[in-house]
Amino acid sequence: MLPMPIPALRLAAVILCVHALACAAAPAGPDAEEPLRIIDAHTHTDFTGESERTSRVPMTEEQYFKEWQAAGVTGAVAHSREDGKGYADLRSRNVVTCAGVGPKVDVARLEAGLKSGRYGCIKVYLGYVHQWAYDKDYEPAYRLAEKYKVPVVFHTDDTYATKAKLKYADPLTIDEVAVDHPNVDFVIAHCGNPWIESAAEVAYKNPNVYLDGSALLVGDLSRSPQEKVDTYVVKPIAWIFGYLEDPSKLMFGTDWPLTPIQPYVDAFKRAIPREHWKAVFHDNAARVFKLR
């Protein structure tokens, strides 16, 4: 074969370059990794406009969704207080809100909210309310949860108020509730921190109990030493995930605005094997809270 003329060589080189660039710019194939979509399974939407006292995060709707966009969040669970304060109707943005209940459940208000879709879950503030999870006064809430097929979330772990009583926030007591109400899904918020072993065991043993890993450390984690973040977030979450032996049991959450979203995502990613990110960051919360 005769050698190709120099201009033809240059033309061939150009064609090859263009082809390479086109391949690089082409849409990813079916086996390519998709961007991680995140559901924040524990947030608060009390948009006061002030800065949160620990994290200094502005408590505004604008800041909330700004952080969503930056972190790849596509849905969230928000918690309102017993008096209904902290509620923002963000259903169109894929936010499910939990109705907070007090020591005496306002059955009429709670059922009206569940029936209308205003609320998609129930929140029990253990510790802040000086009652055990299995107190008979909470039974109406559990019956409504079963009737409307919504999960019940328990505050467990440390509290943000000195008048709270920690013994009521021990996650081990949720075992009794889970056994007595097998048709209701229960979520232990904050993984029961610092009683993470008890929380992990309750979720491991009971098929209707799940964990959210929010607020194991509060404040702006991007400003904290990595050793501190690893000690109080990464290592505990990694231990919990390993103990559960079930990727469907743990959900990502932040407790925004107590901590900005993106730094908490970064810490959580270091704790969870990459092949389970989709379940922990998205699918589990979508299933438990029936989010899009």
Domain presence at residue 282: yes
- Alpha carbons 191 and 170: distance in angstroms, whole number: 10
Domain presence at residue 6: no
Task: Determine the pLDDT at residue 5.
Answer: 44
Task: Determine the pLDDT at residue 7.
Answer: 44
Q: Mean pLDDT across the stretch 185-206?
A: 98
Summarize pLDDT for 136-181 with one digit per residue, the tens.
999 999 999 999 999 999 999 888 788 999 999 999 999 999 999 9
Domain presence at residue 77: yes
Domain presence at residue 12: no
Whether residue 254 has pLDDT greater than 90: yes
Q: Name which of 9-23, 75-89, 162-176, 198-212 the model is least confident about.
A: 9-23
Q: In percent, how much of the chain has pLDDT > 70?
A: 89
pTM of the model: 0.88
Q: Token pair of 239, please?
A: 């231990």
CA distances from 72 to 35, 68, 212, 239 (A): 8, 6, 18, 26
Cβ neighbours of residue 24 closer than 8 Å, sequence gap 6 or more: none
b (16+ CB within 10 A) / e for 49-78: eeebeebebbbeeebbeebbeebebbbbbb
Whether residue 8 has pLDDT greater than 80: no
Task: Determine the pLDDT at residue 17.
Answer: 40
Domain presence at residue 3: no
Q: Mean pLDDT across the stretch 202-226?
A: 98
Q: Mean pLDDT across the stretch 207-226?
A: 97
Q: Name the residue with tokens 């107590």.
A: 258
Domain presence at residue 28: no
Task: Determine the pLDDT at residue 1.
Answer: 41
30 pLDDT band (50/70/90 cuts)?
very low
For position 254, which CATH number holds?
3.20.20.140
Task: Determine the pLDDT at residue 32.
Answer: 54
Domain count across the chain: 1
Contact 140, 122 (CB under 8 A): no
- Alpha carbons 173 and 83: distance in angstroms, whole number: 25
CB atoms within 10 A of CB 133: 24
What three-state secondary structure class fits 153? strand
CB atoms within 10 A of CB 171: 28
What three-state secondary structure class fits 101? strand
> Which residue type does 196 have?
I
- Mean of per-residue pLDDT scores for the chain: 90
Domain presence at residue 19: no
Q: Mean pLDDT across the stretch 213-226?
A: 97
83 pLDDT band (50/70/90 cuts)?
confident
In DSSP notation, 177-190 reads HHHH-TTS-EEEGG
Burial class (CB in 10 A: 0-12, 13-18, 19+), 25: exposed
Task: Determine the pLDDT at residue 43.
Answer: 98
- Alpha carbons 172 and 182: distance in angstroms, whole number: 16
Domain with 145, as residue range(s), is 36-288
Domain presence at residue 171: yes
The DSSP H or E segment spanning 226 is helix 226-229
Angle between helix axes 61-71 and 261-271 (nearest 10 degrees) is 40
- Alpha carbons 90 and 250: distance in angstroms, whole number: 24
Q: Mean pLDDT across the stretch 57-63?
A: 98
